[in-house]
Amino acid sequence: MSIDLTPDPALTELAARTAAFIDDVVAPEEQRLGGVVADGGEDLRQHLQKAAREAGVFAPHVSKEYGGQGLDMRGRAVVFEEAGRSLFGPLALNIAAPDEGNVHMLEAIASDAQKERYLRPLAEGLIRSSFSMTEPAPGAGSDPAALMTRATPTSGGWLVNGRKWFITGADGAAYTICMVRTSGEPGDRGGATMFLIDADTPGMQIVRHIDTLDEGFFGGHCEIEFNDVFVADHAVLGAVDEGFQYAQVRLAPARLTHCMRWLGIARRSQEIAVARANERELFGSRLGELGMAQAMIADSEIDIAASRLLIWQACAELDLGRSAAQSSSIAKTFVAEAVGRVVDRSLQVCGSLGISGDILLSRYIREVRPFRIYDGSSETHRWAIAKRRLRHV
């Protein structure tokens, strides 16, 4: 049996156009702003997304019914990697977290009415969204079953009470998909429900922006309070008490799309290091002729190649209808750590220039470090990987 890893010509062409768009349009904005969105961020988003539409690279993950290009997971891996070569690339293509994962889940789970109200404007880039799952300790985090935010039945709907934090993109989002407990107690493996909650619903309030190491996610990482927030029955996403099951629809694909995007940053970091190694002269030769620099560049090439193939393998399993739980955990753990190694080596190769603001490596290393924690810490994934393996001796 032969294994052909060559993308088809149409996908190759789309990836090439995406790469050119990133280099010509997005990277200059990233350099100008230092990879951080502050005041005027919404203007930047609209500008970049308009340019992406004109370039024919917008929303590659969205089905054609909702204006996208309908790529499967393997196709996304190729294009998302190119888009990820700039911190603003995913924003421009409308494939940034958490919107990209929410689009995927809404297409799979939402009712027709919910798709028109919540999915279509999100897919078209008219609005943004967030996903409210993580809670302050002892609530849900690496262990979703610890979920404490609760919804209680009331006339015509539910009242939601609780607190969420590290909710990416919450500031400026039109709505959140909120995971709450509708039955059972914290620690129970069932009893969760997803609700679509509009941002202007009374009782829902952003308490603060959490000061974090990374600053490149649009809308920040926020802490949110829910105080007697009324949610109508028609805002239940899927079925009551089936939220944990529905979360699996989002879980593996979202892990992998994070990996795809950050692999792009690893590649960009390697490109910066290679260029520096080829031009910098010291001790009577070019930096790239020194064995220690060559070893770092070689190790980064290995990490990039291995990461790509682990992503592609997990994507192939998803496209074939398999769960990809094990392969996505393996990919997420390896890629999160490999990307960090590549960026760190690239910074080391560049020396004092690498830690300066003159190039973006110092920004990249701050952005990629948290990936070893969110979407499941490396330790949590290793625990899950080992448990699955031990069950199948």
pLDDT in tens, 305-333: 999 999 999 999 999 999 999 999 999 99
Burial class (CB in 10 A: 0-12, 13-18, 19+), 127: middle
For the chain, what is the largest distance between any 2 Cα atoms, rounded to a whole number of angstroms?
80
CATH code at 233? 2.40.110.10
Q: pLDDT at position 1, please?
A: 46
Instruction: For residues 387 and 372, state if they share a domain.
Output: yes
Range of the domain at 43: 9-123
Strands in the chain per DSSP E: 129-132, 150-154, 157-168, 175-181, 192-198, 204-209, 221-232, 236-237, 281-282, 285-286
Whether 145 shows a pLDDT value over 80: the answer reads yes
Assigned domain for 299 exists: yes
Structural contact between residues 148 and 139, judged by C-beta atoms closer than 8 angstroms: yes
CATH code at 274? 1.20.140.10
Residue 144 carries which DSSP code? G
CATH code at 115? 1.10.540.10
Mean pLDDT of the chain: 95
The total number of structural domains in the chain stands at 3
**Structure confidence by residue, pLDDT tens digits, 28-87:** 999 998 887 755 578 999 999 999 999 999 999 999 999 999 999 999 999 999 999 999
Which residue blocks in 110-231 are alpha helix, DSSP H? 112-114, 120-123
Give the dihedral sign, CA 322/325/327/332: positive
Q: What is the 3-state secondary structure (H, E, C) of 147-167?
A: CCCEEEEECCEEEEEEEEEEE
Average pLDDT over residues 266-270: 98
Assigned domain for 2 exists: no
Structural contact between residues 197 and 175, judged by C-beta atoms closer than 8 angstroms: yes
340: nearest Cα among 388, 373, 316, 293: 373
